[in-house]
Amino acid sequence: MTRTYRPHRSDLREIARRAMVQRGLLPDFSPAAIAQAREFPGAAADSGPGIRDLRGRLWCSIDNDDSRDLDQLSVAEPLANGAVKILVAIADVDALVARGTPIDQHARTNTTSVYTAAEIFPMLPERLSTDLTSLNQDCERLAVVAEMTVAKDGIVNGSDMYRATVLNRAQLAYDGVAAWLDGHAEPPPRLAAVPGLDEQLRIQDRVAQALRAVRYRRGALLLDTLEPRAVYEGDVLTDMRPDERNRAKELIEDFMIAANSATVAFLAGRKFPSLRRILRSPERWARIVQLAADLGGRLPVEPSAEALEAFLDVQRRANPTRFPDISLSVVKLLGSGEYVAELPGEGSTEHFGLAIRDYTHSTAPNRRFPDLVTQRLLKAAIAGRGVPYGDEELSVLARHCTEQEDDATKVERHVRKSAQALLLSSRIGERFDGIVTGASEKGTWARIFRPAAEGKVMHGFEDLDVGDRVRVELVGTDVERGFIDFARVRP
C-alpha cells in the first residue's frame, strides 16, 4: 500500500511511540520521575573518602556530533619502555539515581535508551543524562575510573578501579577527530585550543591500535553493517546515510572493551558477582559454514572465531561494496548478545564476537541499566561494602535486560525502515542502482545506495543472487510497516 506522507519527523514520532508501547517500553516518564528530576539542586558533589582529584588531567570525550549524554572520558599517561597508562572515566550516575526511586524504576523497566530515527527515548530524564550526570565540557563531575597499564605490544598488564573527580577539557566528535588522525583535515577547533591535547590523542590512538591488534589475533570479528542514519533539516527528513566506521570510533570502542574487561577483573578479584555480556558460540554455525562455501571460502566444522575472521578479512578486501551485506548475514547467524549473572567461582562464558572471556557492560550508565547495576557493584566493592544485589535478583535482571534490549532493537529497526519508506514515499516510479542483499524462498531484497535503503524485489527477481548489481524501480511503500517494494529494471 502506498500513501502520500510529508517527510516530517512528526510522522515517524507517532510510529515510534506506537512501536514502543507495542513492545512494552515506556515512551514517557512518570509524573513522579519528572518531579524527582526537578528536585536535584545540581550535580553530585565530591564527597566521601577515597575520591581522587583528577581534574588536572587532559580528559576529553569523543562521541557523535549530536550526542549530549556523555558517559565516558579518556586520558593517557606514557610510562617507561613504551608502556602507557590509559584512564577511562565513567559518569557516576549512581551518585544521583538511587535504587528504588521513580527514575530508577523507569530505567529498570526500559533498561536502555532507545535511539530511533524519529527521536531518542532516554533511559534517564534529560536533566540528568544530558546535564547533571553527563561528563560535559568544562563541568566538574564525579566518575568511576578504570585504570589500565598497556604494554607496547597491546597487552594489558594490570588494571584498577577507583572513584575520582574529573573535568572534560574538550567535547569532540568522531568524524572531526578521525579526519584529523587520518591527515585529511586540520584539528577540530576545541582540540587545537587545548595545549597538549593533540599529542594526547595521538598516544591514545596508538594504544588503541595495539589493543585492537591483540584482539584480532585472538579472533575478534571485524564486521561492518552500515546502518543508515536519518538526516534532517530542521524537522524535515532529507536523507538516509550509512553510519560508517572510522578511526576515532575504533579508538573509543577499543578503550571501552578494555575498561569493561578491567571491571570484570576488579569485581572477580573481590569475590563480587557481575552481570556479564556474552555472545554464545553460534548454534547456526553450519549455516555460516555454508555461507562461506557459497562465497568460495572454507570454515571448519566446529565454531572458530579465528577462522571466521580470516574469512571475513578476505571478503572485506575482495568485495568492499558487498562486505556490509556479508557482515549483516553473519551478524544474523551469530545471534544476539545477552546478559547473564555470574557468581564468584563460576566459569565464565566467552563473548564469541570479541574473543574475550571476561566481559561486561559498564561504560554507559546514562544509556544502559546493566551499566548502572555494574556501577553500583563496583562502588560497593571499592568502598568495601556488601554486595548490593542478591544472586536471584541479578539473574532476573540479566534476563529482563536481555529481553528489553531485544525489544528496543526491534523498535529502532522498525522506525529506521519506516524512515526509509517515508523518504521514498514521494518517489514512486523512480529508478535506482543497487545490490542484491538477500535471495531465498522468502524473497529477494536489494539495497539502493542513494538514499541508503533496502526493499523487496517484487518482480523480475528470478535469476538474481546475493551480490548482483541491479537496477530497480520503486513501485510502492508502506511507511507504517516500513515496507519498500521494487521491480527489477532489465537492460
- Is residue 291 domain-shared with residue 263, that is, in the same domain? no
Structural domain ending residue among the three candidates 365, 394, 418 = 418
Q: Which helix (H) or strand (E) holds 144?
A: strand 140-150
Average pLDDT rounded to a whole number, residues 252-267: 96
Give the torsion through C-alpha atoms of 101, 107, 111, 117, to 10 deg: 180
Kindly list the distances between the CA atom of residue 178 and the CA atoms of 62, 140, 257, in Å, as whole numbers in the listed order. Answer: 10, 27, 19
Among 63, 115, 305, 128, smallest CA distance to 229 is for: 115
Looking at residue 104, its pLDDT comes to 98
Using the structure block, give the residue that is written with the C-alpha cell 599529542.
Answer: 199
Report the share of the chain in percent with pLDDT over 70: 98
CB atoms within 10 A of CB 261: 22
Among 486, 440, 442, smallest CA distance to 466 is for: 440
Average pLDDT rounded to a whole number, residues 349-362: 80
- Is residue 407 domain-shared with residue 431, that is, in the same domain? no
Indicate the pLDDT class of residue 393, thresholds 50, 70 and 90.
very high
φ and ψ at residue 334, rounded to 5 degrees: -70, -30
Structural domain ending residue among the three candidates 361, 392, 418 = 418
Looking at residue 450, its pLDDT comes to 87
Is 5 contained in some domain?
Answer: no
Is 404 contained in some domain?
Answer: yes
Alpha-carbon gap, residue 243 to 249, rounded angstroms: 11
Among 489, 362, 396, 327, smallest CA distance to 89 is for: 362
Q: Is the pLDDT of residue 328 over 60?
A: yes
Is 18 contained in some domain?
Answer: no
CA torsion through residues 135, 139, 145, 150, sign: positive
Region of poorest pLDDT, from 69-78, 154-163, 295-304:
295-304
- Is residue 358 domain-shared with residue 465, that is, in the same domain? no
How many domains, the chain? 3
Average pLDDT rounded to a whole number, residues 192-215: 96
Looking at residue 227, its pLDDT comes to 81
Among 386, 396, 428, 415, smallest CA distance to 272 is for: 386
pLDDT tens, residue by residue, 395-407: 999 999 999 999 9
Where helices occur in 6-67 by DSSP H, the ranges are: 9-22, 31-39
Looking at residue 30, its pLDDT comes to 98
What domain range is 219 assigned to?
A: 43-279+337-418
Average pLDDT rounded to a whole number, residues 348-376: 88
Question: What's the mean pLDDT when you consider all of the chain?
Answer: 92
Looking at residue 194, its pLDDT comes to 97
- Is residue 354 domain-shared with residue 435, that is, in the same domain? no
Looking at residue 490, its pLDDT comes to 87
Q: Is the pLDDT of residue 266 over 50?
A: yes
Which grid cell is 421?
A: 519508506
User: Which DSSP category does 104 fall into?
Assistant: H
Region of poorest pLDDT, from 186-200, 222-236, 366-380, 417-431:
222-236
- Is residue 166 domain-shared with residue 130, that is, in the same domain? yes
Indicate the pLDDT class of residue 350, thresholds 50, 70 and 90.
low
φ and ψ at residue 229, rounded to 5 degrees: -110, 145
Alpha-carbon gap, residue 375 to 377, rounded angstroms: 5
- Is residue 258 domain-shared with residue 209, that is, in the same domain? yes
Sequence-distant (6+) residues with CB within 8 A of 286 are none
- Is residue 253 domain-shared with residue 314, that is, in the same domain? no
- Is residue 311 domain-shared with residue 246, that is, in the same domain? no
Indicate the pLDDT class of residue 24, thresholds 50, 70 and 90.
very high
Which grid cell is 452?
A: 541508503
Is 20 contained in some domain?
Answer: no
Looking at residue 223, its pLDDT comes to 81
Q: Is the pLDDT of residue 482 over 80?
A: yes
Indicate the pLDDT class of residue 374, thresholds 50, 70 and 90.
very high
Among 251, 254, 248, 245, smallest CA distance to 223 is for: 245
Alpha-carbon gap, residue 434 to 191, rounded angstroms: 39
Structural domain ending residue among the three candidates 418, 442, 457 = 418
More confident residue, 491 or 237: 237
Asked if 412 and 299 count as a contact pair (C-beta separation under 8 A), the reply is no
- Is residue 322 domain-shared with residue 345, that is, in the same domain? no
Indicate the pLDDT class of residue 1, thresholds 50, 70 and 90.
very low
Region of poorest pLDDT, from 296-300, 372-376, 462-466:
462-466
- Is residue 298 domain-shared with residue 273, that is, in the same domain? no
Which grid cell is 243?
A: 553510519
Looking at residue 3, its pLDDT comes to 54
This prediction has a pTM of 0.92
Is 22 contained in some domain?
Answer: no
Task: Give 273's strand partners.
Answer: none
Region of poorest pLDDT, from 19-23, 183-187, 325-329:
325-329
- Is residue 343 domain-shared with residue 255, that is, in the same domain? yes
More confident residue, 223 or 359: 359
Alpha-carbon gap, residue 85 to 79, rounded angstroms: 7
pLDDT tens, residue by residue, 107-138: 999 999 999 999 999 999 999 999 999 999 99
Q: Which helix (H) or strand (E) holds 325?
A: helix 323-334
Average pLDDT rounded to a whole number, residues 163-184: 97
- Is residue 305 domain-shared with residue 346, that is, in the same domain? no
User: Which DSSP category does 357 fall into?
Assistant: S
**In the chain, what is the straight-line distance between the N-terminal and C-terminal CA atoms, in Å?**
27
Is 17 contained in some domain?
Answer: no
Is 406 contained in some domain?
Answer: yes
Region of poorest pLDDT, from 16-20, 62-66, 404-408:
62-66
Is 209 contained in some domain?
Answer: yes
Asked if 436 and 394 count as a contact pair (C-beta separation under 8 A), the reply is no
